[in-house]
Amino acid sequence: MCSVLIGRVKPAQRTLALSLRLRANTEGSSYAAAESRRFCPGVSADVEPLLAPRRSYCSRMAQTEGLFFRQLFESESSTYTYLLADTETKEAILIDPVLETIDRDVKLIQELGLNLKVAVNTHCHADHITSTGLMKKRLVGLKSAISKFSGASADIHLTEGDKITFGKHYLTVRQTPGHTDGCMSLVSGDQNMVFTGDALLIRGCGRTDFQQGCAKKLYESIHQKIFTLPDHCLVYPAHDYLGQTASTVGEERKFNPRLTKSLEEFVKIMNNLNLPKPKKIVSPVGADRGSRRPVIRGWDGSTQTSVDSLSEWTLTREMPQHNMESTRSQWQQGLRPPWITRVAVGQSPSSSGAESDTESSSTESEKSSIKKQEVGSQRVLQPTSLLQQRIKEIDQQKEELKIGLQLEIALLQGELQTEKSQLLRRTQKLQALQREARQTENTQRRHTVRKKERESLEEERRRVEELKRRCEEKEKLIPSQPESQREQLNLQLQQEKEVMEAAVRAFEDWEFRVLEQESGIDEEEESTADEEVEAESGAAKEISCQQHAVNTAQERVQQLERQLKEMEREKERELNALRKERRELVHTTQLVLKEKKPLTDWSNITGSTPCMMSLSPLTVHKPPQEPCKESVSLPRRRSSHRNNKLNDRPLSAQGLVRTLPDSQSPEAFTSPLLSHRLSNGHSSGHRTGTNGSGLLTPCNSTTSSRAASPCLLDLVEIEKKLREAKAERERLLREREERRRLLLEERRQKELNSPRTDPPEPETQQSPEPEPKEQPKASTPPKSPEQPSLPLFLSPNFDLRAHLESLGHGVTGCTDLRLTSRRCAGFLTKRGGRVKTWKKRWFLFDMDHRRLAYYTDCDERKLKGVIYFQAIEEVYYDHLRTATSSPRPTLTFCVKTYDRLFFLVASNAVSMRIWMDVIVTATDEHSRY
């Protein structure tokens, strides 16, 4: 049994103990030691000086024995979340968790077997939504905490001096208002760490231009509450926009550019910051939910309906949308610091038409056999991987949707809870009023009865007195009566007296009873009849008012319940739709995989070259709607058919599958490819496709997947089309082979007629085909009438060297390159595909093999990878410096294939320009052919 204590040390020594049962956990590993390894893992001597500050951080961390500490980062709002735990008891606290990273945080907490007791928000965040509310739904026993002055609801409201205890550690609350009224900093028990929230940032501080911000208050808070901590105390802020992770109080006191100034200067600085609104605050998340009244979401799932005290910015924080596409794309496109890794969905593991770019060390023979298989199977692997990618996307979408809707439901439940408790309060009040009314009524009734009784009593009194009077009169008259009658009269008087005395006794008893009854009754009540009437009418009013409020609250509760049910139904509907799509995609994947074997076998039998594969209608390409995410540089291309080019590209399996029902006929899928491609993309005949350019266009996977899903059911149709595709492909390959044979024939003829001038090229060991002979420098050979219309760069007579000279390159002066009429070779530094390390490679641009190969060295013995010409889409200079880690940013250029980017660095500007113009010929060749 252990407890998390939230207690105030001063003034009242208040200790609020939340006695919570702890899971039995015997692991007890040294988190602090692991943590220090994380901060300084295997530091080599040459970088050690650079890491010196971090070493001091971690060595100090390690001193706090038995403390687990983890700094976590959310890249969209640049927020730091901190997880602290006692390594022995496993009790943990979480500071400033963010909604977007709830899965990561919960997973980590569960993996480490921690028992999260409290999730603290250092203040009301204006730039992101806290995950405490949702986290409470996921982690049993978790309490939320926030400053009492934040105006937000939470399980625990903290004030100055409160202690948040977890195991043998604790954090003390120091109120540091200024950025917001409810800002607080949390100081570790040993004063080695302070979590400053948005008060003190590294070399900065929280803005003071919204949310009750006040520069003067902030200045005082920091000076009085943070700068009074020891110099070595580590500062952990809630945000950093420059990748800084921690600082110290001493450093900030000395170097903080804002806080080293006088108060007046500080105020001036803060008033002139002119910061843009935080990125997320203005995002119209939930804009489609305009029907909902503006609400400020409570920090633990409840809702505050008051909007008066909060800025308009706060009001923009609504629920995540059900349209998760936008969220996902934000996540996918969002820049992340290097230490945040997220598996990029849809990244093909291998390069286009190339061997894997993992810089593996397989042998040449392995390479060639792998290449054969790869080329043959690529067209089926790629669609499969696309489908699998889509499945992954759906899973992710499902998860996001679930979180979004769970949150929505949790918040509605919170709202419902609040309304219900309000209803309960009102009902109780109403009942009390009704009780009161009943009491009043009873009093009145009693009052009337009493009044009547008093009247009867009065009557009786009068009767008794009359009897008394009569007896007295008789008694007086008897002496004056004749003697003979006196005895008789005395007798009568005696009887009457007895009757009278009995009546007096009865009356007195009655009167005594009445007086006794009335002795307990409030005299005021008796006397102020008017007031009573007034109170009665007030109570009646109050009752009707309360009745009305109760009715409204009941309606609201019913409405919320309906909303909740609808939300749950919506969640089910959405999840079912996603489940259905996923099932269909899995089915289709299986089908495509089934197709894989015969197609691969067939491909091996034909022994087709990679270039031939480009004619396959199933070659996979990135959907044209998606621009290259890695760079937005303008491509360096001579071809003016940029847009057509994308449409000219072979149809992706994904696109095929999705567009089948629209295409109606098998011809739509097979017919126009060859003629269209051979006519340089200008053919307008025989177009049966759906996109106006005569070809089927792949659907945009991010927007139309759900709409397109029904077509996936048409599996028989798919099989049929696959068979047709195979037949068409076979025919195209035959035609292409024939054309190729004719070309070679023609080239040989030409060589016989015109003897070559260039010396024969030495690099022949790689070439399985006869090395073509070079033509004298002529980049545009005359076209014989019978010669088929071939693209410029495809022509066997095309002279690369002459072409470059004609472009004005000083080829002879560039000693870095070996340039012949058909080849260009030289060193380039290439960035790895998955492991982003830069390696120097020998690149060989080979026009005869139509590939750009790279080797470990200039002897070209160890092939590391190949980029086939048909895969190359664009070549451009990296002027936006997207390859941030490039050793020479100014000499970096990009070769974009349809599924990845190659970042290459030349040794100098001249060779970079030549390389780019060399490689661009490959793109032109591809786009034209």
Ligand X SMILES: N[C@@H](CCC(=O)N[C@@H](CSS)C(=O)NCC(=O)O)C(=O)O
Q: Which residues bind ligand X (CB under 6 A)?
A: 78, 126-127, 198, 204, 206-207, 239, 241, 275-276, 278-279
CB of 278 to ligand X, least distance (A): 4
Nearer to ligand X, 278 or 404 (CB): 278
Q: What are the DSSP calls for 866-912, one per residue?
A: EEEGGGEEEEEE-TT--STT-SSGGGEEEEEESS-EEEEE-SSHHHH
Nearer to ligand X, 241 or 512 (CB): 241
CB of 205 to ligand X, least distance (A): 7
Nearer to ligand X, 215 or 790 (CB): 215
CB of 129 to ligand X, least distance (A): 12
Nearer to ligand X, 240 or 925 (CB): 240
CB of 336 to ligand X, least distance (A): 14
CB of 279 to ligand X, least distance (A): 4
Q: Partners of 175 in the beta sheet? A: 184
Nearer to ligand X, 39 or 73 (CB): 73
Nearer to ligand X, 34 or 242 (CB): 242
CB of 239 to ligand X, least distance (A): 5
Q: What are phi and psi of 875, to 5 degrees?
A: -130, 125
Measured between alpha carbons, how far apart are the two ends of the chain, in Å?
76
Q: In one letter, which amino acid is 776?
A: P
Nearer to ligand X, 240 or 761 (CB): 240
CB of 194 to ligand X, least distance (A): 17
Nearer to ligand X, 197 or 404 (CB): 197
Q: Partners of 171 in the beta sheet? A: 164, 188
CB of 301 to ligand X, least distance (A): 22
Nearer to ligand X, 182 or 672 (CB): 182
CB of 845 to ligand X, least distance (A): 44
Nearer to ligand X, 126 or 918 (CB): 126
Residue with tokens 């790689």: 766
Nearer to ligand X, 279 or 447 (CB): 279
Query: Angle 662-663-668 (CA atoms, 0-180°, nearest 5)?
Result: 170
Instruction: Classify residue 289 by its DSSP letter.
Output: G
CB of 122 to ligand X, least distance (A): 11
Q: What are the DSSP calls for 445-503, one per residue?
A: HHHHHHHHHHHHHHHHHHHHHHHHHHHHHHHHHGGGS-HHHHHHHHHHHHHHHHHHHHH
Residue 625's contacts (CB-CB under 8 Å, 6 or more residues apart) are 700
Residue 197's contacts (CB-CB under 8 Å, 6 or more residues apart) are 96, 122, 123, 176, 179, 183, 184, 185, 206, 237, 238
CB of 225 to ligand X, least distance (A): 17
CB of 281 to ligand X, least distance (A): 7
Residue 496's contacts (CB-CB under 8 Å, 6 or more residues apart) are 467, 470, 471, 474
Neighbours of 868 (CB within 10 A): 25
Q: Partners of 237 in the beta sheet? A: 197
Short-list 222, 442, 409, 421, CA closest to 322: 409
CB of 180 to ligand X, least distance (A): 9
Residue 397's contacts (CB-CB under 8 Å, 6 or more residues apart) are 324, 325, 328, 578
> What is the rounded distance in angstroms from the CA atom of residue 840 to the CA atom of residue 99?
43
CB of 403 to ligand X, least distance (A): 22
Q: Partners of 234 in the beta sheet? A: 193, 248
Q: Do the Cβ atoms of 658 and 698 come closer than 8 Å?
A: yes
Nearer to ligand X, 101 or 911 (CB): 101
b/e 557-568 (16+ beta carbons within 10 angstroms → b): beebeebbeebe
Tokens of 731: 């025919």
Q: Do the Cβ atoms of 152 and 164 come closer than 8 Å?
A: no
Nearer to ligand X, 215 or 651 (CB): 215
Tokens of 245: 């992770």
Q: Do the Cβ atoms of 809 and 914 come closer than 8 Å?
A: yes
b/e 232-257 (16+ beta carbons within 10 angstroms → b): ebbbbbbbbeeeebbbbbebbbeebe
Q: In one letter, which amino acid is 291?
A: S
Q: Is 551 left (phi over 0), alpha (psi -120 to 50) or beta?
A: alpha
Nearer to ligand X, 127 or 873 (CB): 127
